[in-house]
Amino acid sequence: MTARFSLRPAAGVASLAVAVAIAAGTLATVATVAATRVSSVQIEDWQMQGAATHAAWPVWRLRLAAAFGNAAAREALADVLVSSAHRDERREGVALYRQLARDAVPSAQGTLGHLLLRGLPGIAPDYVESRRWLSAVASHDPQAAYDLSTLYRNGYGVARDPDLAIRWLEQAAQAGVPLAQFQLANEYRFGTALPHDDALALQWLTRAANAELPEANLALAIAYRNGELGMARDEDAYWAHVKESEHDLKHVSRP
């Protein structure tokens, strides 16, 4: 009799363990569903606040959503971390971007290539890995195309290749990257990779200036002051573009 009743506590413990396991699994499922259903507006809000203030709560919410498989939260978290004042968090952000890039997330591949091209405080550039990721997305990512042209133009981690540099530069300029438009204007005006053409230089310089690139407006101002690029001297136009360049500097945002 004693032996028969002594089995009951063990059975009760087993049943309780099963119940706990089921409850834990249910909670994990609920948490996963909740995390994956977080709206893009919420994620963008947490990302904006995290990047601007690095307050604990938006970063924690991004971490939680990312931990339960929300892909958008993972990328938003990486963006917040790479802008952190703490080197360990910056390294974590780069590592997270690398995971996303290996998972074939195109936006993460372009961003990682951009970060590795320029480096971060305490994190040296890696031109070879940068080129790997930029090459993967440059055909449809204008910023990546511009970055790739920079690598080939300067010979960063690869032999200099003026033809490839111009190819990617033209693609980025055509896609509307102001810095690419400005640089392409200079190639037509001063460069050795393209034939000298003041008309094309003026065309691309004007497009960059219209995109509120400060150095483009300043270059146009100087051209009007000196009567360059086939234009007559124009003091009024000179001052107008000087003022535009000053206005642009207040709103400049560089990737």
- The partner residues of 123 in beta bridges, in order of sequence, read 120
Task: Find out whether 109 and 140 touch, Cβ atoms under 8 Å.
Answer: no
Task: Find out whether 50 and 62 touch, Cβ atoms under 8 Å.
Answer: yes
What pTM was estimated for this model as a whole? 0.81
The one-character DSSP state at 211 is T
pLDDT along the chain (255 residues), means of 10: 45 48 40 62 94 91 93 96 95 97 97 97 96 98 98 96 97 98 96 93 97 94 94 92 83 57
Give the relative orientation of helices 71-82 and 40-53 as an angle to the nearest 10 degrees.
10
- For residue 158, report the phi and psi dihedrals to the nearest 5 degrees: -160, 160
Task: Find out whether 151 and 127 touch, Cβ atoms under 8 Å.
Answer: yes
- What residues does each domain of the chain span? 176-255
Three-state secondary-structure class, residue 123? strand
Task: Find out whether 147 and 117 touch, Cβ atoms under 8 Å.
Answer: yes
- The partner residues of 120 in beta bridges, in order of sequence, read 123
Three-state secondary-structure class, residue 96? helix
**pLDDT tens, position by position, 62-88:** 999 999 999 999 999 999 999 999 999
| d(C-alpha 170, C-alpha 181), whole Å | 8
Would you state the structure tokens that stand for residue 116, as one six-digit string? 């590795």
| d(C-alpha 46, C-alpha 51), whole Å | 8
Task: Find out whether 153 and 136 touch, Cβ atoms under 8 Å.
Answer: no
**pLDDT tens, position by position, 5-50:** 344 445 555 454 444 444 444 334 434 444 457 899 999 999 999 9
